[in-house]
Structure 1
Amino acid sequence: MKEHDINVHFIRISSNSSGQRIDNFLYTYLKVAPKSMIYKIIRTGAIRINKKRIKFQYKLQIGDLLRIPPIRGIKINRFNMKYMEEVAFLQNIIIYEDDYLLALNKPTGVAAHGGSGLKFGVIEGLRALRPKAQFLELVHRLDRETSGVLLVAKRRTALVYLHEQLRLQNMKKEYLALVHGRWNVNLQIVSVPLFKKNTLLNSSRVVYIDSENGKFSTTHFQIKEYFDNVATFLAIKPITGRTHQIRVHTQYASHPIVGDNRYGDYQSNTRFKRFGFNRLFLHASILRFIHPKTKKKFHIHAPLGQSFHNCLFFLRNLSIKNYDCLLENISKNIDNLK
């Protein structure tokens, strides 16, 4: 396997990159270089800005002259070809794009960003597919299991503008979800304090309801459709944007989201899995914000994916009596196989 050497590059920092940390800039620019290598070349002084050594926390400024030396040992041929094949689907799920931003209809099971043992996320895949793009950054996050609208900024000015809307809670998100059981028609608002912490076992984030240490959170719920007492199809508008907010609020209401392995009901999820429905049924359907270029109201809509539609179709054509009979037959078949 041959190796590819990146030649010396001199880059004059523009407004698109101003304010970005040097380590994040290099991670985007070098594409295939691991973060450990990036930190090493910064730490050893191989990376220079205005002929001076810098630390990895350094934030780029307009007019900075960045020197990137030759870097050996980056293998890109067969490995990269396989990687490119794996991320090629991202080009087909872009639902909107202009000079300032793009939006994707992210499938369930695909991470927004890499890390924690994942080979890639949406943002890493987009950067690999668009090596000439000067700037691509996630505007917000979406849980790996959640499908729907994911917004990416193509200019730093757009990212800053959109982040300010997030900070001021002026960016509005609307979700669709399928929850277990029959949602109470009178339960339209859930407002409880949420506290986030990392578990010691695998460093994953778990959110709890905590009246003393938690942060204020509110979600609006609207019933779209009942499926007897089996499930309810909901339209959801989070007013605040806490981690796992919708998932914890539905759990608090005793109607967790179908397929939620972290906050859901194991027995109820297993029933759906027996019918082949093995995903988190939470979808980010609409994102509303002020466009960074036009300064006018703008929204992006992501249609439901086929797996979500299939489950709704199944439930619409299944009475509660048939549902119970099917479950009983499946359980008998499983017992016979033991």
Structure 2
Amino acid sequence: MLQMMPPAAESTMVRHLEIAPEYAGQRLDNFLLRELKGAPKSLIYRILRKGEVRLNGGRVQPDRRLSAGDKLRIPPVRLGERIQPPLRPPPGWAERLRDAVLHEDRELLVLDKPAGLAVHKGSGIDFGVIELLRALRPDEPFLELAHRLDRETSGCLVLARTPEALRRIQEALRAGLVEKRYLALVCGYWNHGKREVNAPLRRNVLRGGERMVEVTAEGKTALTRFQPVSLFKAASLLSADILTGRTHQIRVHAAHVGHPLAGDEKYGDSAFNLAMAERWGLRRLFLHAHSVTLALGGREVAVSAPLSPELKMVLDRLATGTAGPAGPAGQGDN
């Protein structure tokens, strides 16, 4: 079990912890964020960068995954002198998340994440899904993101309610044993049938001052399987199964084969996006995490999230060829 100094000594004494088996597999930075409640991420990364945090006696990177029995040194941290007063969640978001629960049991929580809401705070964002949920559930002993979705993407988001569940989900994700299926509307008529895109991706490539993900032989393996669902003259609805979890994987792979996603301002076609907004009423990225299936402790959990009314409306208009009133482009369905 965890061995630690009493809470009263946190701010003035070094703490030495032994990592319990249920925390095995968790990233060190996420572990420290929970141990040092209220500490900003900037402080966590600063003490890691300066080598004040030691794992098994040595310096360590923030993304290092913990193992049972690891010895962790946490330096004295005066949280009260470093954190800002807590901010209040934006009106309405907490209520929306309360209504967005698709599945809940003693180990898991699966949400239908709204488009426009980040999964966690950072880079000018004060609240994400995890912060809002913790505010909604102050008595929840453990709640962590099991994976991530882009801010603009809606749909199934899995959170773990126990350290053991988090470890097992992340192991399954790394082993490719979690099935995640997306619905994506892409530019043009898709005439490829079932198609597998196996193209390595590299992130944080600077292009015009903006950080991008690009297909390059020097990137990490990325595999996406596309399959047509509904074909229209102007656009095509595809299902996309990702066998790897790279940043922006579906968006970059779709653009790579000449069919960028509708509403994608980063990798998409600006003329197509404008037409989708003005003629068909699309006001966001059309990418939805439609379903997730995972095995956990000998049981299978399968959850699906329906398309939002806004996205259904766009498909109905494309199917009938009936253009709707122009909506303000670039807004999420929030």
Given candidates 13, 20, 33, the residue that maps to 1:27 is 33
The answer for the alignment partner of 1:299 in structure 2 is 302
1:177 aligns with 2:184: yes
Give 1:197 shift. 2.9
Query: Residue 221 of structure 1 contacts residue 235 of structure 1 at CA under 8 Å; is this kept in 2?
Result: yes
Unmatched 5+ residue regions in structure 2? Answer: 1-6, 54-58, 328-334
When structure 1 is superposed on structure 2, of 58-67 and 248-257 the one drifting more is 58-67
Question: Per-residue deviation at 1:299?
Answer: 0.9
Matches within 5 A, 1:127-206: 127-184=134-191, 186-200=192-206, 205-206=211-212
Check the 8 A contact 2:146/2:158 in 1, yes or no.
Answer: yes
For residues 106-139 of structure 1, what are the alpha-carbon distances to aligned partners after superposition, in whole Å with 9 as ceiling and x for unaligned? 1111111221221222112222222222221111
Matched, 1:316 2:316: no
Q: In the TM superposition, what is the alpha-carbon distance from 1:258 to its structure 2 partner?
A: 0.6
1:264 aligned residue: 268
Shift of 1:146: 1.1
Give the number of the structure whose residues are more often helix, by fraction: 1
Separation in 1 of the partners of 2:27 and 2:45?
12
SS at structure 2 position matched to 1:80: coil
- 1:1-338 equivalence runs, <5 A: 8=8, 16-17=22-23, 24-28=30-34, 32-37=38-43, 71-72=79-80, 76=85, 80-83=87-90, 86-184=93-191, 186-200=192-206, 205-210=211-216, 212-227=217-232, 229-275=233-279, 276-291=281-296, 293=297, 295-318=298-321
* Cα offset, 1:56, TM superposition: 9.4
Corresponding residue of 1:333: none
Greater Rg, structure 1 or structure 2?
1
Take 1:81 and 1:204, find their aligned partners in 2: how far apart are those partners? 31
Using the alignment, how far apart are the partners of 1:18 and 1:246 within structure 2? Answer: 30
What SS is found at the alignment partner of 1:119? Answer: coil
> Which ranges in structure 1 are unaligned for 5 or more consecutive residues?
1-6, 48-53, 331-338
2:4 corresponds in structure 1 to none
Change (3 A) 1:67 1:165: same
In 2: Cα distance, 1:289 partner to 1:244 partner: 22
Match of 1:3 in 2: none
Q: 1:226 to 1:42 in 2, by over 3 A?
A: closer
Alignment partner, residue 331 of structure 2: none
Equivalent in the alignment of 2:56 = none
Cα distance in 1, alignment partners of residues 168 and 304 from structure 2: 20
8 Å CA contact 1:8, 1:69 repeated in 2: no
Name the SS of the counterpart of 2:317 in structure 1. helix
Q: Structure 1 residue 165: deviation in Å?
A: 0.8
Aligned partner letter, 1:286: S
| CA distance in 1 between partners of 2:61 and 2:214 (Å) | 34
Alpha-carbon shift at residue 66 of structure 1 (Å): 8.9
Go from structure 1 to structure 2 and tell me whether the alpha carbon gap of 1:243 and 1:23 turns closer, same or farther (over 3 Å shift): closer
Task: Evaluate the alpha carbon distance shift between residue 242 and residue 267 of structure 1 in structure 2; reply closer, same or farther with a 3 A threshold.
Answer: same
Counterpart AA for 1:284: A
The one-letter code of the counterpart of 2:293 is R
Shift of 1:154: 1.0
Name the TM-score, length of structure 2 as normaliser: 0.76
1:122-169 Cα distance to aligned partner (Å, 9 max, x none): 112222222222221111111111111110111111111111111111
Change (3 A) 1:152 1:103: same
Pairwise CA RMSD of aligned residues? 3.8
Cα contact 2:21–2:67 (8 A) shared by 1: no
How far residue 279 of structure 1 moved from its aligned partner, in angstroms, is 0.8
